[in-house]
Structure 1
Amino acid sequence: MHYLYSFPVLFSFASVVSASNATVDLSWYAPPSTKVSDLKSVINGTDTWGFVFNSSKTPAGLPYSTYNWCNMPHVRCSEYPNVDPSYKLQYVHVIHRHHKRTPYAANTFPRESYAWDCSDEGLYYHAAPFTGSNANSSASTYWSVFTSSSNPLAPQGFNGTCQFPQLTSGGLDDSHQHGKDVFGVYHDLLGFLPSKYDSRKMQFRVTNNVITSQVASNLIPGMFPSLKGDSIPLMIQPNSIDSLEPAYTCSSASSLFSSYGAGSTNANWTAHLTASSNLVKALDAISGISPSATAWHQSYDHYFDNLSARLCHSKPLPCNSTTGTCVTQAQANQVFRLGEYEYNYLYRSAGPQTLEYARRSYGIWIAELANRLRAAQNGSDPIIYRHDVAHDGSIARLLALLQIQEMVWPGMGSEIIFELYEQRHQWFVRILWGGRVLRSSSPMLGDQVDMVPLNSLLAYFDGLVGRGAVLVPGLCAQS
């Protein structure tokens, strides 16, 4: 079942005619109903549907493809879905969410009952001149967090030696292994990547949030061990126009999101908040969060991040030091189910506005990808491999644009890969999600996005955002 755009703030169309006079179907197609989108299952359930929230290592006996919030599945040799050898791999573009970290400071309680220590790693921040004498060389300086006995103010949230957020040592290990696994596929298995890093053939990109650079600094030596300690450029756009995070301003996208999502009075959104109001009251009593703290009560984002970060790092669930009451595993499980439900709703099941929101707020990155694929096809770009380290919002928007069948909250390390192949002068794209072929609801992409003609994918992208993202500024300016 598909729907034509009918919302007054939307750029209303369901299909366009491409340059080749072929009709391009740009409709939103409803995803199938799943446990994640079933509010009754979310409210009345007890477990997390087999999803893992307490370790980077998926328990023995469960398939590698199991959803693991702490360390999501990605490509690796043992599970890689091989392609008919008549297809020649020509270009690879990886985008994945950063790996596990401490919570954001905004997601910590006013006073946490224990400290969080990060003294087993260093956050390096330094600048080095490319020209000048050796006397101007720089030192490799890193931050060492401390609190002073002379400072009468206690930090909000966790005490200790961490920044909030920062990649933990476990997150750095996961980043390194992610790099090893990607290299194991595209070098060891497929012979596509060179054995040594070559800046003429590959690029790595990050956002202006430093946690993505922390990931890249460990992922790259995972791919190329000889680079340990070397200087490697990370591509980054100015913060005000960064398309990867995304950070560029799109007023109409923000307005659209606020009309149906977190913070809205839309009945479809508030239904789960109303149904779980007793849970929030219990959590507030333990955490010390005021019932008037609006941000904590518009969605489960804050509680989800706080509780999942603890469990991913084998830390206990929080307790109230005054009453002795603690968050139970059952309560944490319900928070996780509700968070998964929210992302499913916000980026897929809420309706056509999810596709519209994604094309406006992530359309520039999509246009950049389309241009990369074109350049690889016509041989005008020597880069054969690009790797972007991004955020859950980046991955969620991209999955919305691809109309994934089962939308979940993209966990730590969530990965999407675009592979471009050539066969007898014909070009095809395969998209992998979590190491497996992505399944889409859009007939333009196919049930499985496996060897879709490149021209079909480009026509879909161009129809949504315009070639070179020419539609995006106008869409973002709409009232």
Structure 2
Amino acid sequence: MFSMGVSLITPASSTVAPEDTFYPPLDSISYITGGAGLSFSEKFTAPAEGPASMVSAAYDYCAMPHPHPDRYQPPLPVQNRSVEAQLVYVEYIQRHQRRTAYNILPGGEDQTYNCDNVHPYLYAEPAAGSPSSIEALAVYAQTYSDPTNPFIIDFVNGSCQYPQLTLGGILNGYQHGRDLWAVYGDSMKLLPSSPDTQKALPGLSCEGFLPNHREPLPLHQQPPGVDTVNQVISCQARSKLLAKIQSTDAWKEHLEVTRPLRARLARLFRANMTEWMSTFDHFADNFQARLCNGYRLPCSRSDPLSCVTEDEAEVFRAADWEWNYWWRQNQNASRYIQLTEGLFLKEIAERLKSTSQRTLGRVYTHSFVHDGDLGPVLGAMGIQRLRWPGMGSNMAFEVWKTNEHQFFVRVLYGGHPLRTVHGDLEWVPLPDIVTQLMVHVPDDIVSMCNDS
């Protein structure tokens, strides 16, 4: 782990009600089986075809909170008028909303997933001004399975392309965008009513975020082979380090205390294989996708009366513990963050520096990433305790400029000032935030990745 001195202003009271906090005690293995007060039925459910409520300020895996017009306030020094400052830039990082599962149970699924209420459009057309006059026909993917296909029995029938967004996820995304516009557009007056597409605001694909814009807008994407998010760049050292992390005494104890649960799940779903037994990632993903989209927990295909019970919420607790261990608790967390997310962290740091140097040329950047990106970014910032970043999880690096031309940063997670081992990141000099990010930026990532 690392230690860094940063200048912080924290709330007058450090007492936070349970419903307001993201951070239950995750440091001990006893969190998994010790009854930590987590009721997954309240935190991991959402309707099948409607938006999940995003009013709560608490952790909710299906619809994580975000900056909301009813709750948003400027940083404390601005609120209490000890300083006069203006919001000049926001770096916003967000995970997608609710979706179907990545991981289909090895023994097949006992429920049919329906995505007929969503049309994922797929088409291309010549850019404006090109010599061609071709107008593309808008087409969308309509999933089907031929009944003569013998492999269907061990898959899942239905009309979804896994892990596509569901209707509920799309509706939540639209509301998320509307709330961001209400905060950073209507209230804070940071955003123009229609963006300058030449200045490229990456990732602004939500109609709710751009209520007055009707023209095509570029969604900036890095090439898949060299994208700096989602761990797509091949890195031998990263894989070796993860194997080392998952061979520590703490990890072995974690597997031992969850052995009865893993054995039962292996029997129910023919899942006695490394990718399903070495972590709780696959089971948690499958169960979350069900509960967050109005489906029930699964039952065995061979024994329909043998089903996952609500008491087996240990799946979610164990997965939370794993995320906290990967990115915060293990002694190699800092190096693992470097190998996983160092390049993206450098991009953030450079944009923040450019804002203070007045060379960036934009006031807002919105990046859509994955849970596996938010985890290391939160770890790099020193989050106290990390639970699995839920659907729509988000961070905002707000840059504020004082009348004395000094720059400060507030870091929000889910609309809250991020609670870290350094204190709440409520009002931190911009250079200190940049320095903290750069701790996790490798000097030579190519050499590090090739180091076997």
Give the structure-1-normalised TM-score.
0.82
2:234 corresponds to 1:249: yes
The one-letter amino acid of 1:146's match is: Y
Q: Is the Cα–Cα contact under 8 Å of residues 381 and 437 in structure 2 kept in the other structure?
A: no
- 1:461–1:474 Cα change, 3 Å: farther
Partner residue of 2:315? 335
The one-letter amino acid of 2:101's match is: P
Deviations 1:140-162 (A, max 9, x none): 11100011234344264321000
Partner residue of 2:186? 188
Paired with 1:173 and 1:165, the residues of 2 have a C-alpha distance of 17
Paired with 1:221 and 1:100, the residues of 2 have a C-alpha distance of 17
Deviations 1:114-137 (A, max 9, x none): 210100011111111115456422
Aligned residue for 1:37, secondary structure, equals coil
- 1:339–1:95 Cα change, 3 Å: same
Spell out the pairing of 1:65-464 with structure 2 (5 A cutoff): 65-83=57-75, 84=78, 86-104=84-102, 106-130=103-127, 131-133=129-131, 135-154=133-152, 156-200=154-198, 203-205=201-203, 217=205, 220-227=206-213, 230-261=215-246, 265-289=247-271, 291=272, 293-323=273-303, 324-331=305-312, 333-351=313-331, 353-423=332-402, 424-441=404-421, 446-464=422-440
Unaligned runs of 5+ in 1: 5-13, 16-22, 26-32, 206-215
Paired with 1:99 and 1:58, the residues of 2 have a C-alpha distance of 10
Paired with 2:301 and 2:274, the residues of 1 have a C-alpha distance of 24
Aligned residue for 2:367, secondary structure, equals strand
- 1:134–1:58 Cα change, 3 Å: closer
- 1:163–1:394 Cα change, 3 Å: same
2:41 corresponds to 1:44: no
Paired with 1:168 and 1:109, the residues of 2 have a C-alpha distance of 22
Deviations 1:151-199 (A, max 9, x none): 3442643210001110001111111111011111001111111122332
Aligned residue for 1:455, secondary structure, equals helix
Give the structure-2-normalised TM-score.
0.87
Paired with 1:309 and 1:275, the residues of 2 have a C-alpha distance of 25
Q: Is the Cα–Cα contact under 8 Å of residues 317 and 326 in structure 1 kept in the other structure?
A: yes
Deviations 1:194-253 (A, max 9, x none): 122332455123xxxxxxxxxx64xx201113446x421111111121113232233222
Aligned residue for 1:91, secondary structure, equals strand
Structure 1 residue 110 displacement after superposition: 2.7
Paired with 1:372 and 1:322, the residues of 2 have a C-alpha distance of 54
Paired with 2:446 and 2:309, the residues of 1 have a C-alpha distance of 47
Structure 1 residue 259 displacement after superposition: 0.3
Q: How many pairs were matched up?
A: 424
Paired with 1:201 and 1:133, the residues of 2 have a C-alpha distance of 24
Spell out the pairing of 1:56-67 with structure 2 (5 A cutoff): 64-67=56-59
Aligned residue for 1:416, secondary structure, equals strand
Structure 1 residue 432 displacement after superposition: 0.4
- 1:381–1:35 Cα change, 3 Å: closer
The one-letter amino acid of 2:387's match is: V
Partner residue of 1:53? 44
Deviations 1:266-290 (A, max 9, x none): 221121211121112222222232x
Paired with 1:101 and 1:54, the residues of 2 have a C-alpha distance of 13
Q: Is the Cα–Cα contact under 8 Å of residues 327 and 333 in structure 2 kept in the other structure?
A: yes
The one-letter amino acid of 1:48's match is: L
Over the aligned positions, Cα root-mean-square deviation in angstroms equals: 2.5
Unaligned runs of 5+ in 2: 8-22
Paired with 2:106 and 2:314, the residues of 1 have a C-alpha distance of 19
Q: Which has the higher contact order (CA 8 A, sep 6+)?
A: 2
